[in-house]
Amino acid sequence: MTSLHPLIDDGLILGSDDHPGGTLYCKCASDPVEVTLSSNVAHNHACGCSKCWKPAGALFSVVAVIPRDNLAVTANESKLHVIDPKAAIQRHACSGCGVHMYGRIEVDHPFKGLDFVHPELGGEDAGWQEPQFAAFVSSIIEQGFDPAGMAEVRDRLHDVGLETYDCLSPPLMDLIAAYTAKKSGALK
Ligand SMILES: N[C@@H](CCC(=O)N[C@@H](CS)C(=O)NCC(=O)O)C(=O)O
Ligand SMILES: [Zn+2]
Ligand SMILES: [Zn+2]
């Protein structure tokens, strides 16, 4: 059966509320890039979009946010490069193994100040917040997934307790819309 993601296929491993953070490692056998997080992550979710890093064979990425002040590159930063400088999220990837170590927003954006990270790089059962929902589910079709398999994919996500959305979850979409409305003056 196609893997959704190793952290989803067999059910979620629940995180611990008081998780203090830890170190993320890229997949290079020597001189790995290290990113140290000084808190747990938030809004962890599965993402089906084409831009987020996924482990080999997985249909989904698992990606979360953390305040940028809680993230530091602590080893081999020189191996990092920005995948697409024009994207809102500047994804810093390792030139050796291709893993995305963190994504940062430098432009005016509702999520500016939050960095995007893949908590599995810090250990699959290390206590990080577990995924809360699945986002950009229909986007897997854009990468070649057969539309006829979508009902099964959504069923499998629901089976492990993940609600599915084709953009972000309603609270995050509301946050983005409120930010846009305040900027335009439609909301005070
Ligand atoms: N359908 C598109 C969706 C891409 C997309 O909008 N991704 C979301 C979720 S990660 C996003 O916020 N992207 C901003 C960015 O990549 O800078 C795809 O799969 O490429
Ligand atoms: Zn690497
Ligand atoms: Zn994504």
Ligand 1 neighbourhood includes 51 CB (under 6 angstroms): yes
pLDDT exceeding 90 applies to what percent of the chain?
A: 96
Residue 123's pLDDT is 85
pLDDT at 157 over 90: yes
Class of residue 70 by CB neighbours under 10 A (exposed 0-12, middle 13-18, buried 19+): middle
Confirm whether 47 is a catalytic residue.
yes
Distances (CA, A) of 26 to 18, 93, 120, 169: 25, 9, 10, 28
Looking at ligand 1, which atom is closest to the CA of residue 135? 9
Strand partners, 89: 105
DSSP character string of 149-170: GHHHHHHHHHHTT-EE-SSS-H
8 is a domain residue: no
Ligand 1 centroid to residue 87 C-alpha, Å? 9
180 is a domain residue: yes
- Annotated catalytic residue within 49, 94, 97, 167: 49
Query: Which spans in the chain are helix H?
Result: 139-142, 150-159, 170-184
Residue 127's pLDDT is 94
Give tens-digit pLDDT for 79-127.
999 999 999 999 999 999 999 999 999 999 999 999 999 999 998 778 9
How many folded domains does the chain comprise? 1
Domain residues for the domain of 105 are 22-184
110 is a domain residue: yes
Ligand 2 centroid to residue 144 C-alpha, Å? 26
Ligand 1 neighbourhood includes 132 CB (under 6 angstroms): no
Class of residue 39 by CB neighbours under 10 A (exposed 0-12, middle 13-18, buried 19+): middle
Q: How many CA atoms lie within 13 A of 121 on its CB side?
A: 31
Question: What is the C-alpha to C-alpha distance for residues 73 and 134, in angstroms, rounded to an integer?
Answer: 28
133 is a domain residue: yes
Average pLDDT over residues 12-40: 96
138 is a domain residue: yes
Residue 61's pLDDT is 98
Residue 124's pLDDT is 76
Average pLDDT over residues 168-187: 97
CATH number of the domain bearing residue 78 = 3.90.1590.10
11 is a domain residue: no
CB 169 within 8 A of CB 135: yes
5 is a domain residue: no
Neighbour-count burial for 10-32, b at 16+ CB within 10 Å, e otherwise: eeeeebeeebebbbbbbebeeeb
Question: What is the C-alpha to C-alpha distance for residues 184 and 188, in angstroms, rounded to an integer?
Answer: 9
